[in-house]
Amino acid sequence: MLFSGVFTAIVTPFKNGQVDEETFRALIDWQIAEGVSGLVPCGTTGESATLSHDEHKRVVEICVDQVKGRVKVLAGAGSNNTTEAIHLTEFAQKAGADGALLITPYYNKPTQEGLYQHYAAIARAVDLPLVCYNVPGRTGCNMLPATVVRLAKEFKNFVGIKEATANMTQASDILAHCPEDFCVLSGDDFTALPLMSIGGCGVISVTSNILPRAMSDMCKAFAAGDYAQAKKLHYQLLPVHHAMFLESNPIPVKMSLNFMGKIGPEMRLPLFPMAEANQEKLRAVLKEAGLL
């Protein structure tokens, strides 16, 4: 599989309103040392929605430069504007990313034919491997298996999907009909193990921002056929997965990294630091996980 294992949907640290490059580079090195298979800069967890285009490009450049080929870089490049998505994907290719992660167009609520034409236009514009990101809870549209299969069969560089519906029936239909080397990655930490059990190849993870080793160990245990260990780690990680969504992602994970001394506390409006009661819940979970 081109993309498999744990890909961290890495946060974007800020300092005094700017991207904190030094801290970001340190985070990248720590993630790699802890065994992740890849990094996803400029995703939802990286606050892509509040990055300027110049900042977005710089974050991708920093990530590719710091990784230096040690792991894969799957750069966030999606938009609800097809022309803009093409531009960001072309940049990701120029910057040296290994692939681009492309969210389904949000707010527009396109038809399935509109979704097909959106991704087809991007696939024709670049040679870069493309991974769709299907997350109806954020976008208001669901990319159905028939559309995914159509794209996978028609475009060699349409190589995978980040499936965040938590719907194993939908994921099964994709896996059953796409080419064997098509990558189906979980878009939810909760469903990483269930999805791998039906043929998925890994996860684009929020939790691995703070527990990269444990998430990587779970995926590696499954890949090695040690299903008992994978299941054990899945349930050990479950309270942390829940804590990462005490409030909207990436608020809890950025606050966790701040509590751990990895990044500063800044995030961009309209995101806002957690309520005190939820901070107490988060600290308790992190302490139980041995992170504080």
Show which residues are catalytic: 133, 162
How far is residue 44 from each of residues 40, 119, 139, 241, measured CA to CA in Å? 10, 19, 11, 16
Bridge-based pairing state of the strands 38-39 and 130-134: unpaired
Q: 98 Cβ partners below 8 Å, 6+ apart?
A: 2, 3, 38, 72, 73, 74, 129
Beta bridge partners of 100: 75, 130
Q: 168 Cβ partners below 8 Å, 6+ apart?
A: 191, 194, 195, 198
Are the C-beta atoms of 119 and 84 separated by less than 8 Å?
no
Are the C-beta atoms of 75 and 109 separated by less than 8 Å?
no
Residues in the chain: 292
What's the alpha-carbon Rg for the chain, to the nearest Å?
18
Q: Of 210, 169, 151, 218, whose CA–CA distance to 190 is shortest?
A: 218
Bridge-based pairing state of the strands 18-19 and 14-15: antiparallel
Helix (H, G, I), strand (E, B), or coil: what is residue 88?
Answer: helix
